[in-house]
Amino acid sequence: MFKKTRLNQICVMFSFLFLSINSTSYANDNANNNSFEDAMRSGITNSNELRLSRQNYLNAQQELTIAGSDKDVYGTVSITQNEAFYERPNDGQEDYDLSTLAGAVTFTKQLYNFGETKAKQEAATISIDIAKAEYYRTKQSVLMSLITSYLNVILSNEEVNLHLSNIDRLTEQTNAEKLRVEAGVSTLANLALSSSKTSISRSDLITAKAAYQTAVEHYESLIGILPEKLSEPSLPNLIPNKVQISEELAYKNHPNLLLANANQRLASIKQKILVKSLGPSVDLSLSAKKQETRDSISSDGNEFSANIALSVPILVTPASTAQSQKLTLELLSAQYERDEVKRSIGLVARAGFRNHIAAKIKLKASIAEVNAYQLIVDATQTEVQFGNKTFLDQLDTEDDLKNAKIRKLRASHDVLLTGFQLLQSIGSLTPENLGAEDVSMPLDSLESPKPRVGSFFSVLKYRQPD
């Protein structure tokens, strides 16, 4: 628990009651995911975006089977009962009725369709590749959200700690100034200045606690549990050492480029499917029929027939022409999109490398700044004791030191954040590289749900799910 003086507790209570939270720990009865790897595991398991992406992959797999349905054998059974009543007033014969019962079984299969089915299956295979690329892209996006939330909790918690420490220091100084004023060795002006600094620091603390509470809630919504004392992660040993290498890795591994390439291939195969659909086809039909009639005049018996039909379109309609032009435009659009994606991911990778290097340099400068301000504070405190500098000078230097420490915290945060962003830009932000490979479900191991319609009897028994 944070040490709080009675004055600090009263002010925080009246300033913002609902933000009075414990900034070093958050109780959780269910789980204890303090390590970075455990948090990533929980976040991956808890992600609805990944669940949706896996379902889309399963849908794409089913489309491969559907694409070959043209070559399936279809069977139908028909039973016909016909009752007819006849009158013959002209020839004087009596009326009579005719009853006919007929049953038929027919099987049909397409023998040839100019390669249309094969082209559809190629398109379905490309759709599976698209679903895979989208899954990898979603996985990177989810991981980046988890990492950002994890780092934000650590940063906001450290800022709260720093502001609390600053309040304790200012409160002690204010109490000491009161004693000096009572002893006649200080002035009311110094006491008022110290009190105003304390009030400002309390306001900064409330703002920091609000940011911490927001970070905690966002973390809980993604990870599924409340954070406790989180450990600071380290970057995987995968950071490129040259900007050109970053760009090359992005072109090789980035899921956005893989997705754009697959979309271009799919747009190209659609034109082929249209052309094949306009070609000749051959269909085979086998039928068996049995008929029984209650009339001695009619002939009953069994009938077997086989039919082969050749269909050849001889006209290309305006709709087909327009569809061909549309698919050509779609292919051009896919090519432009691929070129744009390649351009953008190269730039992002190069910028990500530079941002990470800049963040590391900034951290070194921030560390040097904190050390320098610490020396200034120590020297100023000594000079105040000897009367060479005023109490105002001491408060100003201590405030500068606090601000430098905040900049150091944020610079350290930026080094980690830009490092993970660089890994995302080159396509290397994966559960395997973050130590969470045990919860990274392979797409090939996914199982499709059982079909609701799998046989003739399931069709008859089908009902809507609850």
Examine the fold and report which residue of 296, 315, 334 is the final residue of a domain before the chain moves on: 315
The number of distinct structural domains making up the chain is 2
Distance CA 186, CA 384 (A): 12
pLDDT band per the 50, 70, 90 thresholds, residue 465: low
Does pLDDT of 387 surpass 90? no
Residues 243 and 373 in one domain: yes
Q: What is the mean pLDDT of residues 301-329?
A: 90
Q: In which domain, by residue range, is 30 found? A: 6-67+118-278+317-441
User: Using one digit for the tens of pLDDT, what is the confidence trace for 58-69?
Assistant: 999 999 989 988
Distance CA 132, CA 120 (A): 19
Q: Please, are residues 327 and 272 in contact by the beta-carbon 8 Å criterion? A: no
Residues 228 and 342 in one domain: yes
Does pLDDT of 135 surpass 70? yes
Q: What is the mean pLDDT of residues 222-228?
A: 91
Contacts of 142 (CB under 8 A, 6+ apart): 43, 44, 47, 49, 50
Does pLDDT of 357 surpass 50? yes
Residues 176 and 220 in one domain: yes
Residues 243 and 360 in one domain: yes
pLDDT of residue 100: 82
pLDDT band per the 50, 70, 90 thresholds, residue 89: low
Task: Determine, yes or no, domain membership for 455.
Answer: no
Task: Determine, yes or no, domain membership for 466.
Answer: no
Contacts of 408 (CB under 8 A, 6+ apart): 363, 366, 367, 369, 370
Distances (CA, A) of 292 to 104, 320, 348, 371, 457: 12, 48, 78, 106, 27
Task: Determine, yes or no, domain membership for 447.
Answer: no
User: Using one digit for the tens of pLDDT, what is the confidence trace for 275-296?
Assistant: 999 999 999 999 998 888 765 4
Task: Determine, yes or no, domain membership for 449.
Answer: no
Residue that has been written with the tokens 């590289």 in this structure:
433
Selection from 156, 147, 151 nearest residue 21 by Cα: 156
User: pLDDT over 90 for what percent of the chain?
Assistant: 62
**Angle (deg, nearest 10), helices 116-183 and 188-223:** 160
Of 464 and 435, more confident: 435
Task: Determine, yes or no, domain membership for 21.
Answer: yes
Residues 12 and 88 in one domain: no
Residues 182 and 266 in one domain: yes
Residues 361 and 223 in one domain: yes
Selection from 416, 421, 429, 358 nearest residue 158 by Cα: 416
Residues 253 and 166 in one domain: yes
Q: What is the mean pLDDT of residues 238-259?
A: 96
CATH number, domain with residue 238: 1.20.1600.10
Does pLDDT of 139 surpass 80? yes
Parallel, antiparallel, or unpaired for β 96-112 and 281-293?
A: antiparallel
Does pLDDT of 302 surpass 90? no
Q: What is the identity of the amino acid at 342? A: K
Other C-beta atoms lying within 10 Å of the C-beta of residue 97: 10
pLDDT band per the 50, 70, 90 thresholds, residue 101: confident
CATH number, domain with residue 92: 2.20.200
Does pLDDT of 463 surpass 80? no
How far is C-alpha 383 from the geometric centre of its chain's CA atoms? 57
Of 364 and 88, more confident: 364
pLDDT of residue 1: 34
User: Using one digit for the tens of pLDDT, what is the confidence trace for 142-189?
Assistant: 999 999 999 999 999 999 999 999 999 999 888 988 998 888 888 888
Residues 174 and 259 in one domain: yes
Residues 430 and 341 in one domain: yes
Q: Is 185 helix (H, G, I), strand (E, B) or coil?
A: coil
Distance CA 215, CA 148 (A): 10
Q: Please, are residues 326 and 266 in contact by the beta-carbon 8 Å criterion? A: no
Mean per-residue pLDDT of the chain:
87
Tokens, residue 194: 């110290």
Residues 311 and 321 in one domain: no
Distances (CA, A) of 50 to 132, 180, 259: 12, 63, 17
pLDDT of residue 15: 41
Q: What is the mean pLDDT of residues 243-256?
A: 96
pLDDT of residue 95: 65
pLDDT of residue 321: 93
Task: Determine, yes or no, domain membership for 1.
Answer: no
Residues 382 and 248 in one domain: yes
Q: What is the mean pLDDT of residues 4-23?
A: 39
pLDDT of residue 18: 36
Q: Please, are residues 439 and 44 in contact by the beta-carbon 8 Å criterion? A: yes
pLDDT of residue 176: 87
Does pLDDT of 390 surpass 60? yes
pLDDT band per the 50, 70, 90 thresholds, residue 415: very high
Q: What is the mean pLDDT of residues 320-340?
A: 95
Distance CA 383, CA 173 (A): 17
Task: Determine, yes or no, domain membership for 333.
Answer: yes
Task: Determine, yes or no, domain membership for 460.
Answer: no
Of 13 and 241, more confident: 241
pLDDT of residue 3: 38
Q: What is the mean pLDDT of residues 23-49?
A: 70
Of 442 and 378, more confident: 378
Does pLDDT of 457 surpass 80? no
CA atoms within 13 A on the CB side of 273: 18
Express the helix, strand and coil content of the chain in percent, nearest 5 each: 65, 10, 25
